[in-house]
Amino acid sequence: MKQAMRAKDKERLSVIRMVKASIQNEAIKLGVDTLSEEDELTVLSREIKQRNDSLAEFKKAGRDDLAEKLDSEIGILQPYLPAQLSEAEVEEIVLATIEQVQATSKKDFGKVMQEVMPKVKGKTDGAVVQQLVQKHLN
């Protein structure tokens, strides 16, 4: 935040302040003074997901001006997330987990998701995991 202030980068400063406020609100909601690193990643992931969802809606509505702004905000936030897993890496984790919990049908979907999500939290989108689990449980 200090770097953005010194560089007079208003957009970066605004986005960082917004995320900082979200992190503080989450801490208040949970009743703690400071969030753990995992909780901070959860908040950051949520912020990026919200922006991605809005980005898709704005593009669909033809609002390129708003879409461009959100795209730059996502670009500002992305470096603060851990390195994202490729789809092949996620698929490998999903297959290993399916074997581990001995899942055989779609009824085991919840069990598999419950085991996979903590392993990939903050490193990939939950929708990708969901698609891969459904694909391999058919």
Residue 103's alpha-carbon distances to 2, 34, 76, 119, in angstroms, are 49, 38, 39, 17
Domain borders along the chain are 2-80, 87-136
How far the first Cα of the chain sits from its last, in Å, is: 47
| Confidence at residue 29, expressed as pLDDT on a 0 to 100 scale | 92
| pLDDT tens digits for range 92-114 | 998 898 888 888 888 888 888 88
Q: Specify the CATH architecture of the domain 87-136.
A: Orthogonal Bundle (1.10)
122, pLDDT greater than 80: no
The residue count for the chain: 138
| Mean pLDDT estimate for the chain | 88
Class of domain 2-80 as given by CATH: mainly alpha
Cα 93 to Cα 89: distance, rounded to the nearest angstrom: 6
Cα 47 to Cα 94: distance, rounded to the nearest angstrom: 25
Place of tokens 């936030």: 77
| pLDDT tens digits for range 12-51 | 999 999 999 999 999 999 889 888 888 888 888 889 889 9
